[in-house]
Amino acid sequence: MFKTQSVTPAEDERMIPMWSIILASVSFLLVEYYVWVALPEHRNHPSAPLGFRIYFNLSWGFLIAIYSLMVGYVSKDAPRRAMSSRFWILVCFVMPGGIGAVLYFLLRQPMVSRCPACSTQVQGDFHFCPQCNYRLAANCGHCFRTVRTTDRYCTRCGHELAGDHMPARLHVLGE
């Protein structure tokens, strides 16, 4: 299993690493250099209108920069979800036109956190810890679907939740 990293909400703003920001900036500047300096020296035909050149120059520069930032985000987000960041970065680079990034966002696993009782790694959609049976989320005692702590009846099966005796810590979270 891959080593996971937990990120607090305050750290969530720093999900794009510095190397990705530098790569995006350098990529944008290289596109600018190519279009305005290197390309005009190697042409034997009349140039396109200035507005057309500015539009395509900026759009290609921003596209490459955003793609670099997205690969940086994938490199930080994949370990939080117990996924291989190297594999997904490779997929993002190999699959053309951003298809690799779309695949990552479609196929990524839920966030991984730790059980408060035994510190086992558990996925965000787990209701109980698989090691110690600690109740991680409020759920219906009849159909085991997730419910809000403020609900009186299950929205799926209509079961009365008051009889399930949810732990007091889940009631406190709902208030």
pLDDT of residue 166: 59
- Residue labelled with tokens 């510095």: 18
Question: What DSSP string describes 47-110?
Answer: PPPHHHHHHHHHHHHHHHHHHHHHHHHHHHHHHHTT--HHHHHHHHHHSGGGHHHHHHHHHPPP
Count CB atoms within 10 A of the CB of residue 71: 23
pLDDT of residue 172: 45
Q: What does DSSP assign to residue 36?
A: I
Assign 38 to helix, strand or coil.
Answer: helix
CA distance to 4, 71, 83, per residue, from 75 (Å): 12, 6, 10
pLDDT of residue 10: 55
Please give the single-letter amino acid code of residue 137: A
pLDDT along the chain (175 residues), means of 10: 53 80 94 82 72 88 92 90 89 86 88 82 79 79 77 81 60 45
DSSP β-bridge partners for residue 153: 160
d(CA 63, CA 173): 42
